Amino acid sequence: MTTTEELLVERMLNDAAAAMETLNTCLGVRLGLYEALAGGPLDAHGLADRAGVHPRYAREWLEQQGAAGWLAVDGTDDDAYKRTFRLPDGLHSVLVDQDSPFYLGALPGFVASVAGVIDHVAEAFRTGGGVSFATYGAGTRHGIGRLNRPMFLRSIAAWIGALSGVPSRLAEEGSHVLDLGCGTGWSTIAIAESFPAARVHGIDLDEASVAEARQNAAARGVADRVSFTRADAAAFDPEGLRYDLACCFECLHDMADPVGVLHNVRRMLVPGGSVLIGDERVADSYTAPGDIRERLNYAFSTLHCLPATRAEGAKVEAGTVLRAPTVGEYAAAAGYTSFKEAPIDHDLWRFYHLTA
Ligand SMILES: C[S@@+](CC[C@H](N)C(=O)[O-])C[C@H]1O[C@@H](n2cnc3c(N)ncnc32)[C@H](O)[C@@H]1O
């Protein structure tokens, strides 16, 4: 019979394997090892040459990836340097192709960036302080931006299309959209590409994200209709400009003063204007143990979202697990008269449509 202790030990070993394997996947993405293998099967020297890494490390990583089941091994030659490894079906879409709807190649780097600041997080737990978004660095910034990018570019027109009356407004020349907490700008760019008559303005508190958002918009050829400002969404003042739509994708839970943000945004809407919030798809109430979404969101909350929000000087500090009834309470407190869940299917997010 298996004892409780044995079951817990087995779980811990499985968790540690998953964590360490995720960091190995991070290395593969960061060093372009999967990309090199996308050109065809390679042995250790072939990978070392193509990716510019040392052959001994290439050999060990290939063996680790084969053992972990991420790479397929063709032949198990006794000479470790002669074994060849290849990407199995589907891996290119998940780890290499940044345009793929299945792309998750930026997730291991996000995990690694969070692990990299664990001492700061531990200190924040002790003191009640925070860890600024900027402290998490490029792995977090790019992780979030690149993970969300394919779905923004593919789906944002349909999401906005599901809000009654909004697409026709955005089809009018001179319409304006505000994209709050825009990060590296992919939602802002996707809105501009989907609604060519609209001017779209992204704001974010993080300086590096805003700088990259500007570069991304220029590279996509929409810089003439898209602009970005580093600003706190709770205090942003558009100097008289009014917006037809304000969007808030996966960031309301990160904002220190979500009610203040929604209140500020309400003042900036044209009469009949809308707010579209997309945030984590979590249950309406707490249950334990939770499903995979609750587990992932709580894990990110303790390690990233809550410390980053507290670094802003949190007033409300939702944490990542922002539940629908809480969003409804924020909307009511900020003076919105209508709050509805928007009819948008998504595995990981729920959408809310607010009108003044
Ligand atoms: C999880 S990221 C989401 C970024 C982007 N919306 C996306 O989906 O890719 C949250 C973003 O909210 C920004 N943020 C947090 N608090 C903010 C505030 N008070 N005002 C503006 N942006 C804020 C962070 O800097 C970060 O870029």
Per-residue pLDDT of the chain (356 residues; tens, 9 = 90+): 789 999 999 999 999 999 999 999 999 999 999 999 999 999 999 999 999 999 999 999 999 999 999 999 987 667 889 899 999 999 999 999 999 999 999 999 999 999 999 999 999 999 999 999 999 999 999 999 999 999 999 999 999 999 999 999 999 999 999 999 999 999 999 999 999 999 999 999 999 999 999 999 999 999 999 999 999 999 999 998 999 999 999 999 999 999 999 999 999 999 999 999 999 999 999 999 999 999 999 999 999 999 999 999 877 878 999 999 999 999 999 999 999 999 999 999 999 999 98
Please state the pTM of the whole predicted model.
0.94
CATH of the domain at 16: 1.10.10.10
102 inside domain = no
State the amino acid at position 112 in one-letter form.
A
Identify whether the C-beta of residue 220 lies closer than 8 Å to the C-beta of residue 189: yes
Residues 87 and 10 reside in one and the same domain: yes
Q: For the chain, how many residues are written?
A: 356
Q: How many domains does the chain have?
A: 2
Given 58, 91, 124, the domain boundary residue is 91
145 inside domain = yes
Sign, CA dihedral 118-122-125-127, equals negative
Residues 37 and 186 reside in one and the same domain: no
Residues 117 and 52 reside in one and the same domain: no
CA of 254 to the centre of ligand 1 (A): 6
Residue 89 has a pLDDT of: 96
264 inside domain = yes
What phi, psi does 269 have (nearest 5°)? -85, 145
Report which of 249, 217, 203, 232 is spatially closest to residue 352, judged by C-alpha positions: 249
CA separation for the pair 344, 284 (Å, rounded)? 17
96 inside domain = no
Straight-line distance from the first to the last Cα atom of the chain, in angstroms, rounded to the nearest whole number: 61
Identify whether the C-beta of residue 351 lies closer than 8 Å to the C-beta of residue 268: no
Where would I find the H helices in the chain? 4-30, 33-37, 44-51, 55-68, 91, 107-116, 118-127, 133-136, 138-161, 166-170, 186-194, 207-219, 258-267, 292-300, 306-311, 324-333
Residues 36 and 144 reside in one and the same domain: no
pLDDT in tens, 146-155: 999 999 999 9
Residue 77 has a pLDDT of: 67
Q: What is the dihedral of CA 252, 258, 263, 265, to 10 degrees?
A: -30
CA 308 to ligand 1: nearest atom: 15
101 inside domain = no
Residues 44 and 169 reside in one and the same domain: no
- Residue ranges lining ligand 1, Cβ < 6 Å: 133, 144-145, 148, 181-183, 186-187, 203-206, 209, 232-234, 249-251, 254-256, 312
- Top mutation candidate among 254, 257, 264 for ligand 1, by most atoms within 8 Å of CB: 254
Nearest alpha carbon, ligand 1 atom 13:
181
Residue 316 has a pLDDT of: 80
CA separation for the pair 187, 181 (Å, rounded)? 10
Residues spanned by the domain of 67:
4-91
Residues 143 and 84 reside in one and the same domain: no
Residue 139 has a pLDDT of: 95
Query: What is the widest separation between alpha-carbon atoms in the chain?
Result: 73
Residues 259 and 322 reside in one and the same domain: yes
Residues 261 and 170 reside in one and the same domain: yes
97 inside domain = no
Residue 315 has a pLDDT of: 77
Omega cis (within 30) before 101: no
CATH of the domain at 143: 3.40.50.150
Residues 137 and 68 reside in one and the same domain: no
CA separation for the pair 118, 112 (Å, rounded)? 10
Given 42, 59, 91, the domain boundary residue is 91
Given 33, 57, 91, the domain boundary residue is 91
Q: Are strands 269-280 and 226-230 parallel, antiparallel or unpaired?
A: unpaired
Residue 235 has a pLDDT of: 96
CA separation for the pair 344, 326 (Å, rounded)? 19
Identify whether the C-beta of residue 62 lies closer than 8 Å to the C-beta of residue 44: yes
CA separation for the pair 109, 351 (Å, rounded)? 27
Token representation of residue 5: 């202790």
Q: How far is CA 212 from the centre of its chain?
A: 15
Other Cβ atoms less than 10 A from the Cβ of 97: the count is 16
99 inside domain = no
Residue 314 has a pLDDT of: 73
Residues 219 and 302 reside in one and the same domain: yes
Other Cβ atoms less than 10 A from the Cβ of 229: the count is 12
Nearest alpha carbon, ligand 1 atom 4:
183
CA of 128 to the centre of ligand 1 (A): 21
104 inside domain = no
pLDDT in tens, 154-189: 999 999 999 999 999 999 999 999 999 999 999 999
Residues 58 and 137 reside in one and the same domain: no
Token representation of residue 86: 């290849």
CA separation for the pair 30, 51 (Å, rounded)? 11
Sign, CA dihedral 239-245-251-253, equals positive
Identify whether the C-beta of residue 339 lies closer than 8 Å to the C-beta of residue 328: yes
Q: Which residues contact 49 (CB under 8 A, 6 or more apart)?
A: none
Residues 78 and 186 reside in one and the same domain: no
CA of 181 to the centre of ligand 1 (A): 3
Assign 341 to helix, strand or coil.
strand
